[in-house]
Structure 1
Amino acid sequence: MTDAVAAKIAELGFALPQAAAPVAAYVPTVEVGGLLHVSGQLPFVDGKLVTGRLGEDVSLEQGVVAAQACGLMLLAQVKAALGSLDRVERVVKLGAFINSAGTFTDQPKVANGASELMVAVFGDIGRHARSAVGVPVLPLGAAVEVDAVFAVRPA
């Protein structure tokens, strides 16, 4: 395989991080029935976890960057599981969880950080279904967490 998707990521100015190890009793990915389910990923920017709450101490712009970082970690997990991002047939669904103050209502704008990354990397097959949910707290105090489902080609 040519790893064309990895080349596209580099062309966009991004580098995939090292796939993060689970922080509890779960596995990062499960492949079944042609679908790769990727556990929720947290946002690491410049090697540091982005923590805080949107609408309080995290700006909308910081939230978008955090969601994008979650998207990059999702791709790192996919590459670790499949060996190549070129096996992705379609981004099926993203679930975005945004640590939000009660008055914050821009969860969809935050989630766009991950969604727009998938479209930039994969083109039309990066368009996906999505949920964007405000929550009062996330693991380790993270500002954002994103999970995903990808349709994948056989090895």
Structure 2
Amino acid sequence: MRRPELPERRGRGMWWYPSWTGIDKLQEEISRVFDDFASRFMPPVFGGGAVTVDVYRKDGNVIVEAELPGLDPRDIDIKIYEDKVVLRAEKSGAKEVESEEIIRSERYYGKVSRVIALPVEVLPDKAKARYKNGVLTITIPEKEPEEEGGYRIDIEYED
């Protein structure tokens, strides 16, 4: 018995097959549920190295807003791909406290990172970032949807 050929690879790393079109949406929904669940038990912002974000679409752009208070913008590294944004930062400057008894220590110092899946493909080379009042705003133009692959050919016919 002949094995069927693997489907053509397309899009954001998923194997495309007509009956699998909902898998991508299911994966995004599962990720969202886990992110929501984890955010309830992690201290906010830098506690435990978490970065909180909002992602939305506006005027043909994908906007990513990340809370990164107390950081020097030069310590933030942003990499943008067609389907995701990778944020890395390092908050330095932890100070030694000369005390016999520390009452509370909640501020986080160290490295943080976050990979943010985007809802549509974007144009990474056209992205812009702005940092103001502890909020990093990344604006990335959406990629125009392309017509499904293939080549159009003319049909020769005789009358």
TM-score range, shorter chain: 0.3 to 0.5
Structure number with higher relative contact order (C-alpha < 8 Å, ≥ 6 residues apart): 1
* TM-score, normalised with respect to structure 1: 0.32
Larger relative helix fraction: 1
* TM-score, normalised with respect to structure 2: 0.32
Structure of greater Rg: 2
